[in-house]
């Protein structure tokens, strides 16, 4: 990946709907060059898809939390299967250190969050959990 590829990704990160013609004008390269680069970035898996990023208006009324889990040895697959069935669990990351999983959870209110946390904590294979409720977003560079 070179500087042109990074510039293309930067522009698309800000606006995934940007046309190839607009990209080529902003980058001052031929449209065919941008198109070829996009195709290569897509086939190599660097670009996995084009999506929309929800703004704060869509997030209003949703309580978000990070949940840190420590699981029993050899129970990762079973715990992941059960986590997939909980709609409020948006993402699950494996981690290094004293926790095995980092979960992103979104709920409409504290009652639902409490139920979800109880459900996760009661799972067979979950040794311990720690929850961090998100209060406000100060920086968001996620794509």
SS3 28: coil
Q: Which of 54-58, 85-89, 97-101 has the lowest mean pLDDT?
A: 54-58
The CATH code that applies to domain 56-133 is 3.30.70.920
Domains of the chain by residue range? 3-43, 56-133
Q: Do 41 and 5 meet the contact criterion of CB atoms below 8 Å apart?
A: yes
The pLDDT value given to residue 56: 66
Helices and strands (H, E) in the chain, number of each type? 6, 4
CATH number for 3-43 (one of 1.10.10.10, 1.10.3720.10, 3.30.1360.120, 3.40.190.10): it is 1.10.10.10
9-61 pLDDT per residue, tens:
989 988 889 999 999 999 999 999 999 999 999 999 999 988 777 666 666 67
Report angle CA 6, 9, 15 to the nearest 5 degrees: 145
Alpha-carbon span 20 to 89, nearest angstrom: 35
């Amino acid at each position: 990946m070179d500087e042109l590829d990074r510039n293309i990704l930067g522009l698309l990160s800000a606006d995934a709907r940007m046309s190839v013609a607009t990209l080529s004008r902003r980058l001052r390269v031929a449209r065919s060059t941008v198109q070829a680069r996009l195709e290569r970035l897509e086939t190599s898996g660097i670009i996995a898809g084009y999506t929309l990023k929800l703004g704060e208006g869509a997030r209003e009324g949703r309580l978000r939390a990070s949940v840190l889990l420590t699981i029993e040895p050899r129970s990762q697959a079973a715990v992941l299967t059960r986590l997939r069935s909980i709609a409020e669990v948006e993402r699950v990351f494996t981690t290094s250190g004293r926790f095995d999983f980092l979960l992103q959870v979104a709920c409409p209110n504290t009652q639902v969050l409490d139920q979800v946390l109880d459900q996760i904590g009661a799972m067979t294979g979950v040794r311990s959990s720690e929850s961090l409720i998100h209060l406000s977003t100060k920086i968001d560079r996620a794509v």
